[in-house]
Chain A
Amino acid sequence: MKINVDKESSLLEVKNLRTAFYDGKTKTEAVRGIDFSVKKGEILGIVGESGSGKSVLVKSILGIVPSNAKVDTGEVILDGRRIEGLSKKEKRLIRGKDIAMIFQDPMTALNPLKKAGDHLIELLVRVRGIKKKEAKQEAIELLRMVGIPSPETRVDQYPHEFSGGMRQRVLIAMALACNPKLLIADEPTTALDVTIQAQILELLKKLQREKDMSVVLITHDLGVVATICSRILVMYAGMVMEEGMANEIFYSPKHPYTKALLNSIPRVDGEKTRLKPIKGSAPSLKNVGKGCPFADRCEFAFDRCFTEVPQYNTFSATQRSMCFLAEEEVKN
């Protein structure tokens, strides 16, 4: 069952995407048949724990998977154009111009031998075809836009002269330099302190509104998605367990994994109660069983869960969950 997405308003569509890592004869499937779409002007959150395949998913979309991995099947359609059939050169133009990406670690994403401004200038010259002199002026404006104080002097400084939060701002400026339609942010605030995280999230929200971009935010932090995302995908072991609007996911989660995840985190509001952990640990993707990947850890699992992968059940125009239990609920 697929969710009806208004074709007019969806910017990115991903259909049945599968990516696996190959090591000799062993195949480890990290992304196992994912469908989703990103609408124009929305912030979509992809939540999942380490190893859930969320980073591999977006790398597959961009076509930048590591050399030992391969996208086996799947269609990626950006603004009505299929990406996967394009040549390397065409793909390269899409990255940067149409889709931009921010990575987790602001410490290693910048070239330490290049001035902060030169990162931007090079991009502006190459992708937007601006002259070098004008590009510097534009670079200063971009740095100002992402909230870097005194950009005129900062533009000539090297990455080591910037703090973590400021480097992340430089990366955001680089991502926005070519007015992308889609910004993919992979754990953009994980390496930062909370006060700086709050600043960066606020900035992303503001820029998304002003530029009317779509944003895909990958994170493991449920607090972060609740703060800025309007729609959420919950991933586990390379599959989408549940998808829905932020309110649906947080206030009426349907999948046992989503429920368990929400219950396992401590809250700063409300009473202190004993935490409810999820038993066991995430499955290895090397030898996945036949059934639901969460079955081993699920407190509601029954026989069928171990032998058959559940289909999606749709609960509203926007919410679906991959679980047999939900099916029962729907039937009743």
Chain B
Amino acid sequence: MNETREKLVEVKNLKKYFPIKTSMFKKGNQVVKAVDDVTFHIYKGETFGLVGESGCGKSTLGRTLNRLYNPTSGEILFDGKDITKLNNKELQPFRNRMQMIFQDPYSSLNPHLTVEKIIDEPLEIHTRLSKNERKEKIIDILEKVGLKKEDLDKLPHEFSGGQRQRIGIARALSINPDFILCDEAISALDVSIQAQVINMLEDLQSELNLTYLFVAHDLSMVRHISDRIGVMYLGKIVEISKSEELYDKPLHPYTQALLSAIPIPDPIKAQNSKREIITGELPSPIEMEKGCRFRSRCPFAKPICAEADPQLKQVDDEHYVACHLY
């Protein structure tokens, strides 16, 4: 595709290991490899979807590249600048360019603060606007996310889940970020409300030229909102592709299994579709053997899969897969 498209976020060989405490007094020597050698990039203005089952490391990857966690090794480039090793102070100018929308609209808003105060906080920290200017800005943002000026003095408990998520989005947008990490941003909402929030995120993206990293387990919603999608399994990205292509022509056996497990809201299709139900469950991320991590559940596993870790290779324009079959 467009070779000259600018990359906003670039991640190279990123690793995030968490040590496991086996005793209260000593640091354990075992580690959970939550993110293990991941390389990918996000273009400016696109929505990159990250999918995978719980425990695959998708949230950790998102939070590490936002520098909410310190990476174990690897490199994170934001708009061309290496932010991997910056300390908190040096990160400050980048912090207001990357924001986050959280999963749970109930616990992510301080119940004691009014809506105005919630949205004002980032403005107070990151901008030098006067109080009146800030208030004007807050009202402007509230209207953008579909809330009213009268809501300024209300407390979070006066709102429904969908409205609270709008407040969370307003808070993230208040300081004009370029990049927003949406970590399961709509999973806690009802079906009819999800569509409202998704449409709003899409409108805001084109209006404000935002770049999204959309982390979710709802595969149909991810297909809908994403331009490109990365599939994670046990700390690795196993496939990256443009979103339609991924659903039409999944290459990795795990992607195939994952997609065929989506329940289709259409009785005839659902009952006729040949489902490849993968047996077994996610192995423990602690004692990882060498070779491909999916091989214990893979119907196509070959001897080489136990020998070598498959690397992500390009099979098509913008389509990468890490599997020995290709």
B192 touches A226 (CB 8 A): no
**Contacting residues, chain A, for B140 (C-beta < 8 A):** none
Q: How far is the CA of A296 from the CA of B276 in the complex (A)?
A: 43
A281 touches B224 (CB 8 A): no
- Nearest Cβ distance between residue A321 and chain B, in whole angstroms? 18
Residue A131 is within 8 A (CB to CB) of chain B in the complex: no
Secondary structure type dominating chain B contacts: helix
Q: Which residue of A lies closest to B196 (CB)?
A: A277
Residue B306 is within 8 A (CB to CB) of chain A in the complex: no
Query: Which residues of chain A in 144-177 are interfacial with respect to chain B, using CB atoms and an 8 Å cutoff?
Result: 163, 165-166
B191 touches A265 (CB 8 A): yes
**Contacting residues, chain B, for A91 (C-beta < 8 A):** none
**A: number of interface residues (CB 8 Å):** 43
**Contacting residues, chain B, for A278 (C-beta < 8 A):** 192, 195-196
**Contacting residues, chain A, for B221 (C-beta < 8 A):** 266
Q: How far is the CA of A266 from the CA of B192 in the complex (A)?
A: 11
- Nearest Cβ distance between residue A139 and chain B, in whole angstroms? 22
Q: How far is the CA of A262 from the CA of B258 in the complex (A)?
A: 23
Cβ-defined partner of B192 (8 Å) among A196, A202, A277: A277
Q: Which residue of A lies closest to B226 (CB)?
A: A272
Answer whether A223 and B267 are a contact pair too, CB < 8 Å, given A196-B281, A265-B220: no
Answer whether A199 and B277 are a contact pair too, CB < 8 Å, given A223-B262, A268-B219, A275-B224: yes
Answer whether A277 and B193 are a contact pair too, CB < 8 Å, given A221-B263, A226-B265: yes
**Contacting residues, chain A, for B281 (C-beta < 8 A):** 163, 165-166, 196
Residue B310 is within 8 A (CB to CB) of chain A in the complex: no
Q: How far is the CA of A281 from the CA of B158 in the complex (A)?
A: 13
**Contacting residues, chain A, for B198 (C-beta < 8 A):** 266, 275
1/0 per residue A270-283: CB within 8 Å of B? 00101111110110
Query: Which residues of chain A in 209-228 are interfacial with respect to chain B, using CB atoms and an 8 Å cutoff?
Result: 220-227
Residue A317 is within 8 A (CB to CB) of chain B in the complex: no
Residue B318 is within 8 A (CB to CB) of chain A in the complex: no
Residue B162 is within 8 A (CB to CB) of chain A in the complex: yes
Residue B190 is within 8 A (CB to CB) of chain A in the complex: yes
Cβ-defined partner of B247 (8 Å) among A196, A268, A276, A277: A268
Q: How far is the CA of A261 from the CA of B192 in the complex (A)?
A: 6
A265 touches B223 (CB 8 A): no
**Contacting residues, chain B, for A49 (C-beta < 8 A):** 190-192
A-B contact pairs, 25 of them (CB 8 A): A165-B281, A193-B54, A195-B261, A196-B281, A198-B261, A198-B275, A199-B277, A201-B263, A202-B277, A220-B191, A223-B265, A225-B265, A226-B267, A227-B263, A246-B267, A264-B192, A265-B195, A266-B195, A266-B221, A266-B224, A267-B265, A268-B264, A272-B223, A274-B202, A275-B198
Residues of A within 8 A of B (CB): 49-50, 163, 165-166, 193-199, 201-202, 220-227, 246-247, 250, 260-262, 264-269, 272, 274-279, 281-282
Q: Beyond A268-B262, A277-B194: 19 further Cβ-contacts under 8 Å? A: A165-B281, A193-B54, A202-B277, A220-B191, A223-B262, A223-B270, A226-B263, A226-B265, A227-B267, A246-B267, A261-B192, A262-B265, A264-B195, A265-B191, A267-B264, A268-B264, A269-B264, A272-B223, A278-B196
